[in-house]
Amino acid sequence: MNLKESMLNIAKDQIHAISELKLAVVKAAHSEVLQSVKQVLEEIDAKLILIDDKAALEEQLKTYAIPAEKYEIIDIAEAFEASQKAVELVKQGEVNAIMKGHLSTGKLLKAVVDKEKGIRKSDLLSHVAVLYIPKLNRLVGVTDGGMVLQPSKAEMQVIVEHAVSVFHKLGIKQPKVSLLSAAETVIPKLPASVFAQELTETTADAIIEGPLSIDLSLDSAIAEDKHYDGAIQGDADIIAVPDIVSGNSLSKSLIMFGQAQMAGIILGAEVPIILTSRSSSADEKFSSVLLSQLLIS
């Protein structure tokens, strides 16, 4: 099992509820991006609009033998202008998801959050990483390692809500959310551990618990050894981190040293925004696209 297989299995379980994906790919003329585009067209029902320098894009598309009738090209080479065009397509109802291709995240998000022409829906945009961890043989979410630098208590509530909504779409009715800290006790000098305790609750939608250490969150043997009696016993679905450094480092450590694979998505705009690193594999980019399709369905 891997990330792509896990996502495809979830999609097959929800096949009758899945909507057609209409995807704008910003700065698409890049090998890993086009490999994922080819997978998208082979595996799922999708309409693709590729935005980039037309000549460069057409030259690369020949390499991947993607039929011309399967996509539309919009000839815009400059990254910010291409991002603005993708946002405009959302406003026009032409696309229901945006994928970051080979450009900086900042240029894409500048167009997304523009006060006059942007597509911000929530006061807060947050990033959810969905990782397949081979040792655990399951999916685990990490949030927010990509957008919010150091969330306040109110911002953490929104971040958790966004992540829970993702895992509902992944078929988990009551996700377990670990509010990450250095230990499972409140440390007054760590504000995040204080409001983690304040945010702890169990509802029909989610079990939210903290502060919790990473080992208690993901290792049942350690939870048992420590005689921890909380609702999360090494089986957290989502790790909500206290700051962007923790989230970014956790995700990258799992990828570098634990052979994890990651799908990435930004929530809080009018449509899902597919955000992976430039070094992400084609399978990871494809899995992120599939995740966005589940979210719009």
Q: Considering only CA atoms, which of 18, 81, 16, 1 is closest in space to residue 290?
A: 18
Is residue 153 pLDDT above 90, yes or no? yes
Q: Is 80 exceeded by the pLDDT of residue 18?
A: no
Q: DSSP character for 53? A: -
| Residue 27 confidence class, pLDDT cut points 50, 70, 90 | very high
DSSP assignment of 262-284, as one string?
A: EEEEEESBSS-EE---TT--HHH
Q: How far is CA 143 from the centre of its chain?
A: 9
* Rounded Cα distance, 99 and 273, in Å: 6
- Give the model confidence (pLDDT) of 199-210 as tens digits: 999 999 999 999
C-alpha of 169 from chain center:
12
Q: Model-level pTM? A: 0.95
Give the C-alpha separation, 292 to 147, whole Å: 18
Q: Looking at the predicted structure, is the pLDDT value of residue 16 above 80?
A: no
Average pLDDT for the chain:
94
Q: Is 217 within 8 Å of 232 (Cβ atoms)?
A: yes
Dump pLDDT digits (tens) for 127-137. 999 999 999 99
Contacts of 127 (CB under 8 A, 6+ apart): 143, 144, 145, 146, 147, 247, 264, 265, 266, 267, 275
Give residue 83's pLDDT band: very low, low, confident or very high (50, 70, 90): very high
Model confidence at 15, pLDDT cuts 50, 70, 90, reads low
The answer to whether residue 231 scores a pLDDT higher than 90 is: yes
The predicted-structure confidence for 160-192, as pLDDT tens digits, reads as follows 999 999 999 999 999 999 999 999 999 999 988
Amino acid occupying residue 281: S
